[in-house]
Amino acid sequence: MSERYPDKIIIGLTGNIAVGKSQVLAQLEALGAAAIDADRAAHQVLRHGGGAYEPVLAAFGPGILGADGEIERSALGRIVFADRAQLSRLEAITHPAIRREIDRRIRGALAQVVVIEAIKLLEGDLREAVDAVWVVDARPETQLLRLVSERGLARAEAQRRIDLQNSQADKLKQADVVIANDGDMTATRAQVQRAWAALRAATETQRYRD
Protein backbone atom coordinates (compact mmCIF):
# COMPACT_ATOMS: atom_id res chain seq x y z
CA MET A 1 0.00 0.00 0.00
CA SER A 2 1.10 3.55 -0.67
CA GLU A 3 2.23 5.61 2.32
CA ARG A 4 0.48 8.66 0.90
CA TYR A 5 -2.65 6.67 0.02
CA PRO A 6 -2.78 3.90 2.63
CA ASP A 7 -6.06 2.43 1.38
CA LYS A 8 -4.86 2.05 -2.20
CA ILE A 9 -2.22 0.36 -4.34
CA ILE A 10 -0.75 2.83 -6.84
CA ILE A 11 0.82 1.61 -10.06
CA GLY A 12 2.83 4.13 -12.05
CA LEU A 13 2.61 3.28 -15.76
CA THR A 14 5.22 4.94 -17.96
CA GLY A 15 7.29 4.66 -21.12
CA ASN A 16 8.21 6.99 -23.93
CA ILE A 17 6.01 8.36 -26.70
CA ALA A 18 4.04 5.87 -28.84
CA VAL A 19 5.03 2.73 -26.93
CA GLY A 20 1.36 1.97 -26.29
CA LYS A 21 0.84 3.04 -22.69
CA SER A 22 -2.83 3.84 -23.27
CA GLN A 23 -3.48 0.31 -24.55
CA VAL A 24 -2.00 -1.17 -21.38
CA LEU A 25 -3.92 1.31 -19.23
CA ALA A 26 -7.19 0.25 -20.87
CA GLN A 27 -6.38 -3.40 -20.22
CA LEU A 28 -5.68 -2.72 -16.55
CA GLU A 29 -8.92 -0.76 -16.26
CA ALA A 30 -10.77 -3.75 -17.72
CA LEU A 31 -9.21 -5.90 -14.99
CA GLY A 32 -10.65 -3.64 -12.29
CA ALA A 33 -8.13 -0.85 -11.74
CA ALA A 34 -9.04 2.83 -11.61
CA ALA A 35 -7.27 4.55 -14.51
CA ILE A 36 -5.78 8.02 -14.38
CA ASP A 37 -4.29 9.43 -17.58
CA ALA A 38 -1.86 12.23 -16.73
CA ASP A 39 -2.24 13.64 -20.25
CA ARG A 40 -5.98 14.04 -19.68
CA ALA A 41 -5.23 15.70 -16.35
CA ALA A 42 -2.95 18.04 -18.30
CA HIS A 43 -5.84 18.82 -20.67
CA GLN A 44 -7.94 19.73 -17.65
CA VAL A 45 -5.42 22.11 -16.07
CA LEU A 46 -4.78 23.81 -19.44
CA ARG A 47 -8.44 24.58 -20.02
CA HIS A 48 -9.72 28.08 -19.32
CA GLY A 49 -10.04 28.35 -15.55
CA GLY A 50 -7.65 25.43 -14.99
CA GLY A 51 -4.66 25.69 -12.70
CA ALA A 52 -2.10 26.13 -15.49
CA TYR A 53 -4.07 28.17 -18.03
CA GLU A 54 -3.03 31.68 -17.02
CA PRO A 55 0.67 30.98 -16.36
CA VAL A 56 1.04 29.03 -19.64
CA LEU A 57 -0.66 31.82 -21.56
CA ALA A 58 1.64 34.37 -19.93
CA ALA A 59 4.70 32.29 -20.77
CA PHE A 60 3.92 31.42 -24.39
CA GLY A 61 1.70 34.27 -25.53
CA PRO A 62 -1.73 34.63 -27.16
CA GLY A 63 -0.57 32.83 -30.30
CA ILE A 64 -1.37 29.52 -28.61
CA LEU A 65 -5.06 30.40 -28.23
CA GLY A 66 -7.85 29.22 -30.50
CA ALA A 67 -10.84 31.28 -31.52
CA ASP A 68 -12.72 30.00 -28.45
CA GLY A 69 -10.09 31.33 -26.08
CA GLU A 70 -8.85 27.86 -25.16
CA ILE A 71 -5.20 26.85 -25.47
CA GLU A 72 -4.65 24.90 -28.68
CA ARG A 73 -2.43 21.98 -27.77
CA SER A 74 -1.27 21.65 -31.36
CA ALA A 75 -0.01 25.24 -31.37
CA LEU A 76 1.64 24.78 -28.01
CA GLY A 77 3.14 21.49 -29.21
CA ARG A 78 4.77 23.14 -32.22
CA ILE A 79 6.64 25.40 -29.82
CA VAL A 80 7.70 22.95 -27.16
CA PHE A 81 8.48 19.94 -29.36
CA ALA A 82 10.88 22.05 -31.41
CA ASP A 83 12.95 23.17 -28.42
CA ARG A 84 13.84 21.12 -25.36
CA ALA A 85 14.27 24.29 -23.27
CA GLN A 86 10.73 25.36 -24.10
CA LEU A 87 9.43 21.91 -23.23
CA SER A 88 11.18 22.10 -19.86
CA ARG A 89 9.68 25.55 -19.34
CA LEU A 90 6.19 24.24 -20.00
CA GLU A 91 6.67 21.27 -17.68
CA ALA A 92 7.91 23.49 -14.87
CA ILE A 93 4.64 25.43 -15.10
CA THR A 94 2.20 22.57 -15.61
CA HIS A 95 3.55 19.72 -13.49
CA PRO A 96 2.52 21.13 -10.07
CA ALA A 97 -1.04 21.73 -11.31
CA ILE A 98 -1.20 18.29 -12.92
CA ARG A 99 0.09 16.72 -9.71
CA ARG A 100 -2.70 18.36 -7.71
CA GLU A 101 -5.31 17.16 -10.22
CA ILE A 102 -3.95 13.59 -10.08
CA ASP A 103 -3.98 13.66 -6.30
CA ARG A 104 -7.63 14.70 -6.38
CA ARG A 105 -8.48 11.84 -8.73
CA ILE A 106 -6.60 9.24 -6.68
CA ARG A 107 -8.41 10.21 -3.50
CA GLY A 108 -11.74 10.02 -5.30
CA ALA A 109 -11.11 6.61 -6.89
CA LEU A 110 -13.34 3.78 -5.70
CA ALA A 111 -11.06 0.92 -6.79
CA GLN A 112 -8.27 -0.33 -4.53
CA VAL A 113 -5.74 -0.40 -7.37
CA VAL A 114 -5.12 2.91 -9.13
CA VAL A 115 -2.98 3.13 -12.25
CA ILE A 116 -1.44 6.47 -13.23
CA GLU A 117 -0.25 6.68 -16.82
CA ALA A 118 2.40 9.40 -17.05
CA ILE A 119 5.22 9.77 -19.53
CA LYS A 120 7.23 11.84 -17.01
CA LEU A 121 6.37 9.67 -14.00
CA LEU A 122 10.00 9.11 -13.02
CA GLU A 123 11.18 12.68 -13.54
CA GLY A 124 9.18 14.29 -10.73
CA ASP A 125 7.70 13.78 -7.28
CA LEU A 126 4.93 11.59 -8.67
CA ARG A 127 7.47 8.76 -8.50
CA GLU A 128 7.27 8.89 -4.70
CA ALA A 129 3.50 8.36 -4.75
CA VAL A 130 3.53 4.98 -6.50
CA ASP A 131 4.05 1.50 -5.10
CA ALA A 132 5.29 -0.05 -8.34
CA VAL A 133 6.63 1.19 -11.67
CA TRP A 134 5.39 -0.53 -14.83
CA VAL A 135 7.21 0.44 -18.03
CA VAL A 136 5.73 -0.17 -21.46
CA ASP A 137 8.41 -0.75 -24.08
CA ALA A 138 8.49 -0.85 -27.88
CA ARG A 139 11.20 -0.75 -30.53
CA PRO A 140 12.09 2.71 -31.91
CA GLU A 141 10.86 1.70 -35.36
CA THR A 142 7.49 0.76 -33.83
CA GLN A 143 7.26 4.15 -32.15
CA LEU A 144 8.03 5.92 -35.42
CA LEU A 145 5.48 3.88 -37.36
CA ARG A 146 2.76 4.60 -34.80
CA LEU A 147 3.41 8.34 -34.82
CA VAL A 148 3.27 8.46 -38.60
CA SER A 149 0.39 6.06 -39.23
CA GLU A 150 -1.80 6.66 -36.17
CA ARG A 151 -1.14 10.32 -35.37
CA GLY A 152 -0.50 11.59 -38.89
CA LEU A 153 2.90 13.13 -38.21
CA ALA A 154 5.54 13.55 -40.89
CA ARG A 155 8.48 11.21 -40.35
CA ALA A 156 10.85 14.06 -39.53
CA GLU A 157 8.46 15.49 -36.94
CA ALA A 158 7.83 12.04 -35.49
CA GLN A 159 11.55 11.39 -35.16
CA ARG A 160 12.10 14.80 -33.57
CA ARG A 161 9.47 14.04 -30.93
CA ILE A 162 11.06 10.66 -30.21
CA ASP A 163 14.48 12.28 -29.90
CA LEU A 164 13.18 14.85 -27.40
CA GLN A 165 12.12 12.14 -24.95
CA ASN A 166 14.11 11.27 -21.87
CA SER A 167 15.94 7.97 -22.05
CA GLN A 168 13.70 4.89 -22.32
CA ALA A 169 16.66 2.84 -21.05
CA ASP A 170 16.65 4.84 -17.82
CA LYS A 171 12.96 4.09 -17.37
CA LEU A 172 13.54 0.39 -17.94
CA LYS A 173 16.25 0.35 -15.26
CA GLN A 174 13.69 1.57 -12.71
CA ALA A 175 10.90 -0.81 -13.75
CA ASP A 176 9.30 -3.32 -11.45
CA VAL A 177 7.37 -4.69 -14.45
CA VAL A 178 8.16 -4.35 -18.17
CA ILE A 179 5.43 -4.83 -20.78
CA ALA A 180 6.77 -5.37 -24.30
CA ASN A 181 4.27 -3.87 -26.74
CA ASP A 182 5.34 -4.10 -30.37
CA GLY A 183 1.94 -4.73 -31.86
CA ASP A 184 0.80 -8.21 -30.86
CA MET A 185 -2.17 -7.37 -28.64
CA THR A 186 -2.62 -10.98 -27.55
CA ALA A 187 0.96 -11.12 -26.27
CA THR A 188 0.63 -7.72 -24.61
CA ARG A 189 -2.62 -8.68 -22.89
CA ALA A 190 -1.06 -11.91 -21.59
CA GLN A 191 1.81 -9.96 -20.04
CA VAL A 192 -0.59 -7.52 -18.38
CA GLN A 193 -2.73 -10.33 -17.00
CA ARG A 194 0.31 -12.13 -15.55
CA ALA A 195 1.59 -8.97 -13.89
CA TRP A 196 -1.90 -8.16 -12.56
CA ALA A 197 -2.29 -11.65 -11.10
CA ALA A 198 1.11 -11.37 -9.40
CA LEU A 199 0.15 -7.98 -7.95
CA ARG A 200 -3.15 -9.29 -6.57
CA ALA A 201 -1.44 -12.38 -5.12
CA ALA A 202 1.18 -10.22 -3.40
CA THR A 203 -1.56 -7.95 -2.04
CA GLU A 204 -3.46 -10.91 -0.59
CA THR A 205 -0.26 -12.26 0.99
CA GLN A 206 0.50 -8.92 2.59
CA ARG A 207 -3.07 -8.61 3.86
CA TYR A 208 -2.82 -12.08 5.42
CA ARG A 209 0.44 -11.15 7.16
CA ASP A 210 -1.05 -7.91 8.47
pLDDT tens-digit readout, 25-73 = 999 999 999 999 999 999 999 999 999 999 999 999 999 999 999 999 9
- Give the domains, in start order, of the chain with CATH numbers: 1-33+121-205 (3.40.50.300), 38-110 (3.40.50.300)
Q: What is the DSSP letter of 36?
A: E
Q: Please state, in angstroms and rounded to a whole number, the distance separating the CA atoms of residues 154 and 44.
A: 28
pLDDT at 152: 94
Q: Give 71's contacts (C-beta < 8 A, 6+ positions apart).
A: 46, 47, 53, 56, 57, 64, 65
Strand partners, 14: 135
Closest CA to 11 of 31, 80, 180, 95: 31
Reported pTM: 0.88
Nearest in space to 11 (alpha carbons), one of 29, 100, 20: 29
Low-confidence stretches of the chain (pLDDT beneath 70): 1-2, 205-210
pLDDT at 124: 84
